[in-house]
Amino acid sequence: MGRVYYITHSGTLKREENTVVFENSEVKKSIPIEDLDELFLLSEVSTNSKVLGLLSQKGVVVHFFNHYGYYIGSFYPRETNLSGYLLVKQVQHYIEPHKRLELAKSFVEGAIINLCPLFNMEEETYLSELSKAKNITEVMQVEAKLRKDFYRKIEEETGWDFQKRTKRPPHNPLNALISFGNSLVYSKVLGEIYHTQLNPTISYLHEPTTKRFSLSLDVAEIFKPILSDALILKLIKEGLLEDKHFLQELEYAYLSQDGRRLFVAEFNKLLESTIRHRKLNRKVSHRQLIRLELYKLIKHLLEEEPYRPLNYRSL
């Protein structure tokens, strides 16, 4: 697996021969792209087609965020790891209602079993409601209730004001953290999908659209508790994130540049940290857990092995 590189300053990304260079008034730095998998542009960075052409040749996925740390979109290079047979199977599992429902429930089950232990939430209650869901709408309702209860719990645990979920824009620091963390997880899952034969536009829990890589949203449900929610709780409780790391305007709150830099550093540290995988009998990084989950999904789609979502506690 190659490197993930984060740029948290505003500036310009340009190509100099076969090298990508980031530059602003304070710094000029070459980015090693030979072993680069992903590039996160977490501030206002201008670039051009020459840069994107080179990154496409190297198979580098680029995620764009604006000045406020709000996710804009991703540059997804032309896929080279293609499988027509898997694509047919992905579509088949979408258009056959019982197959789609089974996968949709699995993604929400993963969210439940990984989120509930963090906040002493009644796991069995949500799993029971999920088992009774007869369609995608009812599955989404279970997921919505889980998240609503989580927001109340994290407000209690941290002492930070939440009020209600607001996204565009987030109205307070806790909402801003959740939005930023979720965007990082969504983007990271997308980056891992690129290195598989999965098509990122065909999804099961979230409705596929013409404007987003919705499979990333599905798989991110499993990893948001591990890579974002738990991290937010840790950073607040340990006093690493404070009021000074946020900027607030009228009905708008967002992480400052220092706040984003701190959060991203901890996020990447978590991604690269390892955990003992009981089934594989070896250590794997949290980033590798995402790739392994995608391989499990592929086996399910190919009808080789039923998909069971990652249970982080069981590792």
- CA–CA separation, 282 vs 260, rounded Å? 32
Greater confidence, 206 or 278? 206
Residue in 241, 273, 287 with CA at minimum distance from that of residue 260: 241
pLDDT for 22 equals: 94
pLDDT at residue 252 is higher than 80: no
pTM here is 0.94
Beta carbons of 289 and 310 less than 8 angstroms apart: yes
- CA–CA separation, 310 vs 225, rounded Å? 11
DSSP per residue over the chain, as a string? --EEEEE-S-EEEEEETTEEEEE-SS-EEEE--TTEEEEEE-S-EE--HHHHHHHHHTT-EEEEE-TTS-EEEEE-PPP-S--HHHHHHHHHHHHSHHHHHHHHHHHHHHHHHHHGGGTT--HHHHHHHHHH--SHHHHHHHHHHHHHHHHHHHHHHH-----S---SS--SHHHHHHHHHHHHHHHHHHHHHHTSS--TT--SSSPP-SSS-HHHHHHHHHHHIIIIIHHHHHHHHTT-S-GGGEEEETTEEEE-HHHHHHHHHHHHHHHH-EEEETTTTEEEEHHHHHHHHHHHHHHHHTTSS------GGG-
Greater confidence, 247 or 264? 264
Residue whose tokens read 């906040």: 119
Q: Which two tokens stand for residue 274?
A: 């390892």
Q: Which two tokens stand for residue 150?
A: 């989580």
pLDDT band at 278 (very low <50, low <70, confident <90, very high): confident
Strands 45-46 and 11-16: parallel
- CA–CA separation, 54 vs 1, rounded Å? 19
Greater confidence, 2 or 121? 121
Tally of CB atoms within 10 A around 89: 18
pLDDT at residue 164 is higher than 80: no
pLDDT for 162 equals: 80
33-42, 99-108, 134-143: least confident range: 33-42
Query: 249 φ, ψ to 5°?
Result: -115, -175
pLDDT at residue 129 is higher than 70: yes
Structural domains of the chain ordered from first start: 3-75 (3.100.10.20), 84-314 (1.20.120.920)
